[in-house]
Amino acid sequence: MLKAIKMLTKRIIPCLDIKNGRTVKGVNFVDLRDAGDPVELAEIYANEGADELVFLDITATEQRRKTLAELVMHVAEKVNIPFTVGGGISSVEDVEILLNSGADKVSINSSAVKNPQLINDLAARFGSQCVVVAIDAKQIDGEWIVHLVGGKVPTEIRLFDWAKEVEQRGAGEILFTSMNHDGTKNGFANVALAYLSDLVNIPIIASGGAGNMQHFVDTFIDGKADAALAASVFHFKEIEIIDLKKELKNNNIAVRL
């Protein structure tokens, strides 16, 4: 697959972290704040021009729960844009339930590291376009190291090695969250993102660090990201999606208006 066939239009993706059925957003994965009802927020974002949505049940892996298919059904009833669901997904059966409930894609993280064959199995069964591999990584002594279970458990796996492997196994997209940047609102990890983008031929979703509109401009230009994901700046109305898209367009970045 050639880089040229990556999506040319850049995507803006609100992320809804779900805990106990509510949308929450913390700083660096802790100190969660309640940011509202997920279905209600999803409907608002769809109407405001979001390109896609991501729902991550951040308690699911920790507590070994299955992601609630019921939530997916409610969201599918209300929104007409693609959405991805993640959290506690560890089998082909889990994915089948979520896709049948109305999700367009699934995101796998810890389960993919523990069982890399899951990526192959999901891609073979449902197609790569349904499979997003989320990677949470932290830069430690100059090395980007993959972390699991919502960023709580470090591994010995290097980000760039893992990204290449998940592409080879059939992932359709990579959702990369920099734990050094997440919740800080100081901008995305653009150096690492640009390296990732050059390394693999599948789309990269930038996550972690959005604080203002310029950060989005920078991650699309300097970070070479295909999509940018954020939570609190959207949940708390610090950035309006339509205003963001106009700013991106003003910077000659192709977006859907």
Backbone angles phi, psi at 57, to 5 degrees: -80, 100
CA–CA distance, 145 with 135 (Å, rounded to integer):
10
The H or E element spanning position 43 is helix 38-48
Q: Return the residue matching tokens 């430690």.
A: 140
Neighbours of 112 (CB within 10 A): 25
List the catalytic residue out of 17, 51, 57, 182. 17
Report strand pairing: 22-27 vs 53-57.
Answer: unpaired
What is the rounded distance in angstroms from the CA atom of residue 4 to the CA atom of residue 225? Answer: 14
142 contacts 153 by C-beta, under 8 angstroms: no
Position of tokens 């709580």? 152
Q: What are phi and psi of 117, to 5 degrees?
A: -60, -25
Active site residue 136: yes
Q: Which member of 51, 57, 94, 136 is catalytic? A: 136
Q: What is the C-alpha separation between 164 and 166, in angstroms, rounded?
A: 6
Task: Return the amino acid letter for 8.
Answer: L
Separation between Cα atoms, residue 241 and residue 184, nearest integer Å: 20
Please name the residues in contact with 128: beta carbons below 8 A apart, sequence gap of 6 or more.
Answer: 170, 171, 172, 202
- Active site positions, annotated: 17, 136
